[in-house]
């Protein structure tokens, strides 16, 4: 069954499972305990801390383990705001940040007296450093948040340039690197990042564990209080087995990046995927950075395994339904909340209209993707598009796809 949804969650790597099993098979021990089993659990945690730090160019002491990327982003945003005086709680976030950042910023505005400005992006989803700089308030801006690469369209951002601007204004830079930590990778020290959010399951590690890497000297207020674990920044008993899996996945991802073969293979698979989709739907449009198939010269290429495309006249929810019946796993460019499909804030910020955003599908590849999966997915898309061929019936200016008729004319 073709799995093309790595941006949502990558399959568990064999290396991660192998690191976890010894800790799962023996009696669970608290890494803070002083007996032998506790010390063994602590050793596994500290080994993983070194592996995660090495992946992103940080010191092991800067790695703070969390329950995932969402908690890491919340700790970064809220902790940085609360560490500043009430008069200096200004935030600047790119308009295409993950909701874990944007919603945390909204909390800061509603409950912590902060002010939030959104930095606009261009049609490819890239932040313009000059336009972002115009929003900064030297001495008052506490935090700037710009992700390494976007989780919906794959576009990379000029992180180092933004870091320099943030530091000149006296602010710290939060970089959500949940998608980019493996490929193309990030260099926390080299790019001047102060706070870096990670999630294990995007790297092929287990779900439920992540990290906020906190650059030495960065002021941060903890959100959880209790046992004082993780240098007092994140209290709570550490899940040693999950953390060991995180570390092993990070080490495997770093090894892949070092050779360059993984990025080359993913780029080739993505190009094959796009070529097949274009053959099936010549009118499709690529969202975000167009990728290497558009020629050289475009900066910040972003994620090598992610392809976001719009199928004009076909709703993503209908296409995904048919693809799921063929066993193809992928995602839409919109999120579901309270049973209603809402347009992707990322695509809207890039200039897509709500209807266009609802016609977007995201395909994402990773460490175990194969050519056979790509070809099977392309064949399934071609069959689905035949079913969804626009017809004359339907709402004005928008043909009703046959999939809706197949469901008995279900209302939208």
Closest CA to 346 of 174, 157, 104: 157
Give dist(CA 114, CA 107) in Å, integer. Answer: 9
Both tokens of 412, joined, read 């939208």
Helix (H, G, I), strand (E, B) or coil at 193: coil
With a CB cutoff of 8 Å and minimum separation 6, the contacts of 356 are 310, 312, 347
Q: Tokens for 198, please give them.
A: 């990670």
The catalytic position among 93, 175, 330, 336 is: 336
Rounded Cα distance, 149 and 335, in Å: 19
Cα 79 from Cα 194, distance rounded (Å): 13
Q: Say whether 336 is catalytic.
A: yes
354 neighbors 348 (Cβ within 8 angstroms): yes
- Contact at 8 Å (CB) between 301 and 156? yes
Handedness of CA 298, 302, 306, 308 (dihedral sign): negative
Angstrom distance (rounded) from CA 280 to CA 146? 35
What positions carry a catalytic annotation? 336
């Amino acid at each position: 069954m073709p799995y093309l949804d790595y941006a949502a969650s990558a399959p568990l790597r064999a290396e991660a499972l192998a690191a976890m099993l010894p800790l799962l098979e023996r009696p669970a021990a608290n890494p803070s305990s002083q007996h032998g089993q506790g010390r063994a659990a602590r050793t596994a945690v500290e080994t993983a801390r070194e592996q995660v730090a090495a992946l992103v160019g940080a010191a092991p002491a800067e790695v703070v383990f969390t329950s995932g990327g969402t908690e890491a982003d919340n700790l970064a945003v809220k902790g940085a705001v609360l560490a500043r005086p009430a008069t200096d709680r200004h935030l600047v976030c790119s308009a295409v940040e993950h909701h874990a950042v944007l919603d945390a910023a909204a909390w800061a505005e509603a409950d912590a007296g902060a002010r939030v400005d959104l930095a606009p992006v261009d049609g490819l989803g890239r932040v313009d450093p000059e336009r972002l700089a115009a929003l900064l308030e030297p001495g008052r801006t506490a935090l700037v948040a710009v992700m390494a690469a976007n989780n919906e369209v794959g576009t990379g951002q000029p992180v180092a340039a933004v870091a320099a601007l943030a530091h000149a204004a006296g602010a710290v830079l939060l970089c959500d690197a949940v998608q980019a930590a493996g490929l193309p990778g990030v260099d926390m020290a080299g790019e001047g990042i102060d706070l870096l959010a990670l999630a294990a399951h995007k790297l092929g590690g287990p779900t439920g564990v992540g990290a906020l890497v906190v650059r030495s000297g960065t002021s941060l207020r903890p959100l959880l209080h209790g046992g004082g674990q993780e240098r007092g920044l994140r209290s709570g008993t550490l899940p040693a087995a999950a953390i060991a899996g995180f570390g092993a996945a990070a080490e495997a991802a770093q090894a892949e990046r070092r050779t360059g073969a993984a990025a080359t293979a993913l780029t080739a698979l993505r190009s094959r995927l796009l070529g097949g989709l274009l053959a099936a739907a010549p009118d499709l449009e690529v969202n975000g950075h167009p990728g290497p198939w558009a020629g050289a010269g475009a900066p910040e290429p972003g994620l090598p395994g992610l392809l976001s495309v719009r199928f004009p006249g076909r709703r993503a929810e209908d296409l995904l339904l048919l693809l799921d019946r063929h066993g193809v796993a992928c995602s839409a460019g919109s999120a579901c909340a309270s049973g209603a499909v809402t347009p992707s804030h990322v695509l809207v910020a890039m200039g897509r209209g709500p209807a266009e955003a609802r016609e977007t599908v995201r395909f994402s590849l990773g460490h175990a993707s194969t050519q056979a999966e790509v070809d099977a997915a392309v064949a399934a898309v071609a069959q689905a598009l035949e079913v969804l061929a626009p017809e004359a019936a339907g709402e004005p200016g928008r043909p009703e796809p046959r999939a809706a008729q197949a469901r008995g004319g279900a209302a939208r």
